């Protein structure tokens, strides 16, 4: 992507106290799902939780973000790596795209290796759908270790 892209991030409410350090570092370094912005500027203009299961804030937060110019919403990596991963993640993605007409990317920072290891043992991401979901944040082991 070129030019300046305004983004918003929606995190899992389980991590509502998260200061966003991994997401912001990944954004600055263009790691994980932020690698799509290798060219051009990125401005974070919104950051919110999903509101807790089943994600009531997903209905409204993207609208507020759009008022601030958001073009792309990232559903944070925490929604993917939590125990269990968010059961609503694909609905959130599809709802935001349909309701607000903006792009949605699943993921922010690379999956930390400690989460990767457990989810591999649990076979959490063995389905074709999950393999596609984690692709933007999978990276390689060295990159995952740097986010442990």
Residue-wise pLDDT tens digits, 83-95: 999 999 999 999 9
pLDDT at 2: 61
Handedness of CA 130, 131, 135, 137 (dihedral sign): positive
- Mean pLDDT within 43-70: 97
pLDDT at 39: 87
Instruction: Determine the Cα–Cα distance for residues 89 and 106; give it in Å rounded to an integer.
Output: 8
Query: Residue 26 sits in which domain range?
Result: 4-145
User: Is the pLDDT assigned to residue 3 strictly greater than 80?
Assistant: no
- Mean pLDDT within 97-115: 98
User: Is the pLDDT assigned to residue 27 strictly greater than 70?
Assistant: yes
- Mean pLDDT within 94-113: 98
> Over the chain, what is the mean pLDDT?
96
pTM (predicted TM-score): 0.95
Residue spans of alpha helices (H) in the chain: 21-29, 61-67, 78-81, 89-100, 113-122, 128-138, 141-145
Q: How many domains does the chain have?
A: 1
Nearest-Å Rg of the Cα atoms of the chain is 14
Give the pair of three-digit tokens for residue 88: 């609503």
Identify the DSSP state of 74. E
Nearest by Cα to 108 from 18, 2, 10, 1: 10
Supply the CATH number for residue 21's domain. 3.40.50
């Amino acid at each position: 992507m070129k030019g300046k892209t305004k983004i918003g991030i929606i995190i899992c409410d389980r991590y509502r106290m998260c200061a966003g350090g991994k997401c912001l570092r990944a954004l600055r370094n263009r790691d994980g799902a932020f690698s799509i912005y290798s060219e051009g500027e990125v401005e974070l203009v919104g950051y919110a939780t999903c509101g807790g299961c089943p994600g009531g804030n997903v209905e409204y937060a993207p609208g507020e973000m759009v008022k601030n110019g958001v073009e792309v919403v990232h559903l944070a990596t925490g929604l993917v790596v939590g125990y269990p991963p968010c059961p609503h993640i694909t609905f959130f993605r599809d709802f935001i795209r349909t309701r607000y007409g903006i792009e949605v990317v699943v993921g922010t920072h690379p999956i930390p290796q400690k989460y990767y290891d457990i989810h591999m043992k649990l076979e959490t991401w063995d389905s074709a759908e999950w393999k596609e979901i984690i692709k933007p944040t999978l990276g390689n082991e060295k990159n995952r270790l740097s986010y442990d």
